[in-house]
C-alpha cells in the first residue's frame, strides 16, 4: 500500500512557474513508475508526464514539452513536477499517481493503469 501526499500548486500569472511535489509513504517508492495528470473543470483527466522508477526516462504530453519537467528523488520518496512558462490553459487540478512495476523502463500514460493516486492540488494560471 502506498499513500501519496501532494504539495505545492497555487495561483500564478501567465509566464510564471510553480513546482508540485508528491511524497510517498512506504519503503518501495523506487519500484513505482510515477505519473502526473490534470483535470480542468468540465473535462476528463489528462495525462501530463510520466517517469520510470529510477528517473532515467520521462515522457510528456505534447502541450507541456519544453515547459514542464518531472523528476524524482527516491531517497526522499518524492516526485516533482516543475512547471515553467505557465499558460492559462494549464489551469487544472493536478494529480500524481503510482504504478508498481519491476520493469525498469515502464512509463505509463493511461490513468486507468495506475494503482495509487494523490489527493490533487489546484493550479490556477491567470492571463
- For 79-127, how does the pLDDT look when each residue is reduced to its tens digit (9 = 90+)? 999 999 999 999 999 999 999 988 888 889 999 999 999 999 999 999 9
At 107 the pLDDT is 86
Which three cell numbers, joined as nine digits, stand for 25?
Answer: 509513504
Cα atoms in the Cβ-side hemisphere of radius 13 Å centred on 118: 28
The b/e string for 66-82 (b: 16+ C-beta within 10 A; e otherwise) is eebbbebebeebbbbbe
At 104 the pLDDT is 80
Mean per-residue pLDDT for 39-51? Answer: 96
Q: What is the pLDDT of residues 59-68, one digit of tens each?
A: 999 999 999 9
Confidence of residue 40 (pLDDT cuts 50, 70, 90): very high
Amino acid at each position: 500500500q502506498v499513500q501519496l501526499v501532494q504539495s505545492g500548486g497555487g495561483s500564478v500569472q501567465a509566464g510564471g512557474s510553480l513546482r508540485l511535489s508528491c511524497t510517498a509513504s512506504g519503503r518501495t517508492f523506487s519500484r513505482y513508475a510515477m505519473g502526473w495528470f490534470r483535470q480542468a473543470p468540465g473535462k476528463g483527466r489528462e495525462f501530463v508526464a510520466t517517469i520510470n522508477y529510477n528517473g532515467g526516462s520521462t515522457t510528456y504530453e505534447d502541450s507541456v514539452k519544453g515547459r514542464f519537467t518531472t523528476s524524482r528523488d527516491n531517497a526522499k520518496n518524492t516526485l516533482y513536477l516543475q512547471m515553467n512558462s505557465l499558460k492559462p490553459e494549464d489551469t487544472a487540478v493536478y494529480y500524481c499517481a503510482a504504478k508498481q512495476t519491476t520493469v525498469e523502463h515502464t512509463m505509463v500514460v493511461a490513468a486507468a493503469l495506475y494503482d495509487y493516486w494523490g489527493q490533487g492540488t489546484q493550479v490556477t494560471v491567470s492571463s
